[in-house]
Chain A
Amino acid sequence: MNTGTNKIFTAEMLRSFSETCLQSVGTHKADSVIIADNMVQANLRGEDSHGVQLLPIWVKRINHGGIKTNVTMELVEDHPSTALLNANDGIGQVAAVQAMHLAVKKATQTGFALVGVQHISSYTNAKHSTMIALDHKMIGFSMSNANPILFAPGGITHRIGTNPIAFAVPAKHEFPVVLDMSTAVVGHERIREAVRQNIPIPSEWGVDKAGNPTNDPNDIWEGGSLNHFGGYKGFGLAVIIEALTGVLMDAGFTTGVSEWFPYENIEDRGKLFGALNIEHFINYDTFTSRVDTLIREVRASKLAPGFERIYLPGEKGFLESNKRTSQGIPLDARMVEQLEALALELNVSKLNSLNSTE
């Protein structure tokens, strides 16, 4: 083994390690399983920024009281097709799963349901809860507000979050279509990576603190802002998401939403989960066949120069997930080191003791 090379872990090892760490700081077993599954799903899909690299952060936030493990969700409002839940600053990933199950249950009866959650922390991997709808032959969607790190177009004060939105639509033989995107032009981690590597970024990505386009990722980091995707369109969508989550769910909005640091911060986000009952419109099998047709049509597009194939939303993640399920999940040495340090701190079995392979 060399430092700098990747070590390979199975999904099971990472789940088990995460669950142990989370339980050691007071997380209920069932809740730890959901958080671990949320993160490991992201790792499997190749979306490592939402994977186990977040584990040390969750553990610290739980330890500092930023995320509460001993609270229960309350039903604040309950109607045939809508509900409002209070997560009481509990675990976002867990509240998200519960909310999505409730949305599915309601949509089974009424056809369409919206379940809001107030006072909730980040769910980070949005598709984890959203995709629950697929198991019930439904279309699922979710959205969340976030701490304000973006300018409004024309403004130079941080006023709105990267407000993510996710959709999951089942297919028959093809992979489900799973769109999971933030309303910013690119993820913040791309900027962090460009800063680390000291490389320029496209001027469309963001602006400096005075609002001028920049190629220097440091300008965005130091008081500047990412742009919204498609300019005012992404901003418009972010505004609607904020209205439907923080404002409508009686949770924090804009500067009322906090970031993860310092660890004791209560995020106070609002989220919205939706389910749409396919059978209330069309026979489920007919629908999934039609989705397959559409997917194959899209894939048959003539290719632009430099591209080898077309990927549908979420498709790369499914392909990577199949690959990593059989070949394992690579973590870089720095990541492994951080997880081992966490194990030491929490006095739980080290990750390497779980028989990793190289």
Chain B
Amino acid sequence: MVNSREHIYVNAESIKAFAIRAFMAVGVSQYDAEITTNSMLQAALRGEGDHGMRLVATWINKIKAGGTNPKTPISIIQNHTSTALIDANAGIGAVAAAKAMEMAIEKASSSGAAFVGVRNSNSYANAKYYPMMALESKMIGFTFSNSIPLIPPYGGLTPKSGTNPIAFVVPSKNELPVILDMSTATMAFERLRVYASLGKKVPPGAIISSTGHTIDDPTLLEKKGFLKGAVLQAAGGYKGFGLSLMINLMTGVLFDGAFMDDLREFTPADETEKVSFVLGAININHFMPYDRFIERMDEFILSIKDSDLASEVDQIYLPGEKGSIRYKARLKEGIPLDSPTIETLSAMAKELGIEGIPGKI
């Protein structure tokens, strides 16, 4: 057995084929299994392990336990020129999000902008994956989602809003696209889980106890039921909370979906998370010629980078740049998987009776 500090490297193609096999073994169609896998694989390649391959097992458990409907039988509740509302009917978040993004792109191609809502879904995890679909259509994509309450309002101690991710993807020409993908808390929930699973301490200020004390050991919270009683701090205090609240209002509240305490997390596996999210598209050509826009984006990016640097700083990174650089490297080098992930995925393969990855899983 490898120790927790070591990683083995698995190439993207083999882990992809493995994950697709796993999803198909629990009743997901090949098409949907590919979307779901690609979303996680992208996170893994970009170095965001918290939304990476570890989630395959989590999501499959949820399908097996009944919290996620593997068929993702979406229904369209409302449909207008530039908006739509989809009920995911407890399906896979990645699949519902990809469908909503396709709809948003199609609507924005004629009307200029679109805002498509999804309710009653499970979480989509790697938020940026879906708005990145807009890049091929020469559009700007965006998304945000609600999630279980984990951050208190300014001046409060009771969690009242989620870490609610928000992502924007903007194309450029020769520079890397700008990809903002952030939670409205100082630290994303999934990253906390990774810290907990590795027994790592979190930076001070990221979480406080329900009595207002700083906690640096997420495993303490885990003992009380997974992170129950954790209070995450909003990024930038009332600003992060304000944004998180707006996301709540413009998702679950607006879509007649679940909000606040009616939302569920990954566990227990037999319950649907019931999250709501938005997928949006902005048609660049309706404002200025696309080619001119991406040239201007390059100019903007280079202007930010062309800055004198503080000591011990090598360069300025734009949002998403580090991840895009890592993505290219990992396509060649493979994806490092830590031992808890390998053990989890191996156990899952055995249970599902599917072929693993020779010599690895």
- A residues apposed to B, CB below 8 Å: 77, 79-82, 84, 107, 109-114, 116, 139, 151-157, 159-160, 167, 169, 177, 179, 181, 185, 207, 210-212, 228-237, 239-240, 242-244, 246-250, 253-255, 276-278, 280-282, 286-287, 290-291, 294, 297-298, 300-305, 307, 309-313
Please state if A110 and B111 are interface contacts (CB–CB under 8 Å).
yes
Contacts of B210 in A (CB 8 A): 302
A-contacting 9-mer, from B29-37, B38-46, B193-201, B253-261: B253-261
Please state if B297 and A81 are interface contacts (CB–CB under 8 Å).
no
For the complex formed, measure the closest distance between the CB of A280 and the CB atoms of chain B, giving whole angstroms: 5
Query: By DSSP majority rule, is chain B's interface helix, strand, loop, or mixed?
Result: mixed
- B residues apposed to A, CB below 8 Å: 78, 80-83, 85, 108, 110-115, 117, 140, 152-158, 160-161, 168, 170, 178, 180, 182, 184, 186, 210, 212, 235-240, 242-243, 245-246, 248-250, 253-256, 259-261, 280, 282-284, 286-288, 293, 296-297, 300, 303-304, 306-311, 313, 315-319
CA distance A236 to B111 in the complex (A): 28
Contacts of B311 in A (CB 8 A): 210-211
Contacts of B80 in A (CB 8 A): 110-111, 277, 280
For the complex formed, measure the closest distance between the CB of A313 and the CB atoms of chain B, giving whole angstroms: 4
CA distance A243 to B259 in the complex (A): 31
Please state if B155 and A240 are interface contacts (CB–CB under 8 Å).
no
For the complex formed, measure the closest distance between the CB of A247 and the CB atoms of chain B, giving whole angstroms: 5
CA distance A313 to B310 in the complex (A): 35
Closest A residue to B317 by beta carbon equals A154
Please state if A181 and B242 are interface contacts (CB–CB under 8 Å).
yes
Q: Could you list 21 A-B pairs, sorted by A, with CB under 8 Å?
A: A81-B81, A81-B114, A109-B81, A110-B81, A111-B82, A155-B309, A155-B313, A156-B308, A210-B310, A233-B236, A236-B180, A243-B140, A244-B282, A248-B293, A276-B83, A280-B85, A281-B85, A282-B255, A298-B160, A310-B154, A313-B246
Contacts of B113 in A (CB 8 A): 81-82, 112-114
Contacts of A294 in B (CB 8 A): 245, 248-249, 253, 259-260
Contacts of A155 in B (CB 8 A): 304, 307-310, 313, 316
For the complex formed, measure the closest distance between the CB of A357 and the CB atoms of chain B, giving whole angstroms: 34
Query: By DSSP majority rule, is chain A's interface helix, strand, loop, or mixed?
Result: mixed
| Contact A157-B307, Cβ < 8 Å, known A110-B81, A112-B83, A243-B297 | yes
A-B contact count (CB 8 A): 254
CA distance A236 to B284 in the complex (A): 20
Closest B residue to A290 by beta carbon equals B253
* Ranked 7 nearest A-B pairs via Cβ: A211-B310, A229-B236, A230-B235, A82-B112, A111-B83, A301-B156, A155-B307
Please state if B115 and A111 are interface contacts (CB–CB under 8 Å).
yes
CA distance A181 to B212 in the complex (A): 26
Please state if A278 and B112 are interface contacts (CB–CB under 8 Å).
no
Please state if A303 and B260 are interface contacts (CB–CB under 8 Å).
no
| Contact A167-B246, Cβ < 8 Å, known A154-B309, A294-B260 | yes
Please state if B309 and A79 are interface contacts (CB–CB under 8 Å).
no
Please state if B153 and A298 are interface contacts (CB–CB under 8 Å).
yes
For the complex formed, measure the closest distance between the CB of A227 and the CB atoms of chain B, giving whole angstroms: 9
| Contact A112-B300, Cβ < 8 Å, known A139-B250, A179-B246 | no
Closest B residue to A297 by beta carbon equals B260
For the complex formed, measure the closest distance between the CB of B157 and the CB atoms of chain A, giving whole angstroms: 4
CA distance A281 to B178 in the complex (A): 30
CA distance A110 to B80 in the complex (A): 6
CA distance A165 to B122 in the complex (A): 29
Please state if A301 and B259 are interface contacts (CB–CB under 8 Å).
no
CA distance A215 to B313 in the complex (A): 22
CA distance A73 to B240 in the complex (A): 35
Please state if B156 and A303 are interface contacts (CB–CB under 8 Å).
yes
Contacts of B313 in A (CB 8 A): 154-155, 211
CA distance A157 to B304 in the complex (A): 9
A sample of 18 more A-B contacts (CB under 8 A), given A113-B82, A244-B282, A311-B154, is A77-B286, A81-B114, A111-B83, A112-B82, A139-B250, A207-B310, A211-B313, A229-B239, A236-B180, A236-B182, A240-B319, A244-B140, A294-B245, A297-B261, A304-B157, A310-B153, A311-B155, A313-B242
Contacts of B287 in A (CB 8 A): 77, 82, 84, 116, 248-250
Contacts of A300 in B (CB 8 A): 158
Contacts of A181 in B (CB 8 A): 239, 242
Most buried by A among B158, B210, B297: B158
Contacts of B297 in A (CB 8 A): 243, 247
Please state if B319 and A302 are interface contacts (CB–CB under 8 Å).
no
Contacts of B300 in A (CB 8 A): 242-243, 246-247, 253-254
B319 in complex: contacting residue of A211, A236, A250, CB < 8 Å? A236
| Contact A156-B82, Cβ < 8 Å, known A114-B113, A177-B245 | no
For the complex formed, measure the closest distance between the CB of B75 and the CB atoms of chain A, giving whole angstroms: 15
Please state if B78 and A298 are interface contacts (CB–CB under 8 Å).
no
Contacts of B304 in A (CB 8 A): 152, 155, 159-160, 239, 254
For the complex formed, measure the closest distance between the CB of B36 and the CB atoms of chain A, giving whole angstroms: 26
Most buried by A among B152, B161, B249, B307: B249
Contacts of A80 in B (CB 8 A): 81-82, 110-112
B249 in complex: contacting residue of A112, A116, A152, A169, CB < 8 Å? A169
A79 in complex: contacting residue of B83, B111, B250, B256, CB < 8 Å? B111
